[in-house]
Amino acid sequence: MDTEAQNLTGVWNGLYSYPDGRSVTFVATLIDGGSTLSGSTHEPCVGGYCPAAPLFATLMGHRSGSAVTFRKTYEAAIPRYGTVNYEGRLNGDATEIEGRWMIPGVWSGKFMMIRPAGKAEAVARRVFERA
């Protein structure tokens, strides 16, 4: 199926990794508004100082075909937990997004988000039935 036609709204399980090999799991809720994406994430706080546990962030981004970009902004207004840029690619059945995250001049690494197949179709069907 054409990735442009797939709706990304739903709950995604993710993992991002640091250059030193550490990895962090997260859960993202995405809302697909056509070419725009919004949503939120929550994840455990790892490492040193943790302003809150778990950490919450908002997502704002875009989608063009299989290209997905978004900015994650943590609620805790601390430089270490500020804004992170994500750039990824959606797979053919819209169940995985894989790519890189970046904090310019500080860190970067890989990420992957996965959702069960069939979720997008179920969400679209429920929305259509309510209309």
CATH code at 44?
A: 2.40.128.120
The pTM assigned to this predicted structure is 0.81
- In order along its 131 residues, the chain shows pLDDT tens digits of 555 568 999 999 999 999 988 899 999 999 999 899 999 999 988 766 776 678 889 999 999 999 999 999 988 655 566 789 999 999 999 999 999 999 988 889 999 999 987 554 555 455 556 55
Residue with tokens 């970067």: 108
Q: Which range marks the domain in which residue 47 is found?
A: 3-130
Structural domains of the chain, count: 1
Beta bridge partners of 10: 30
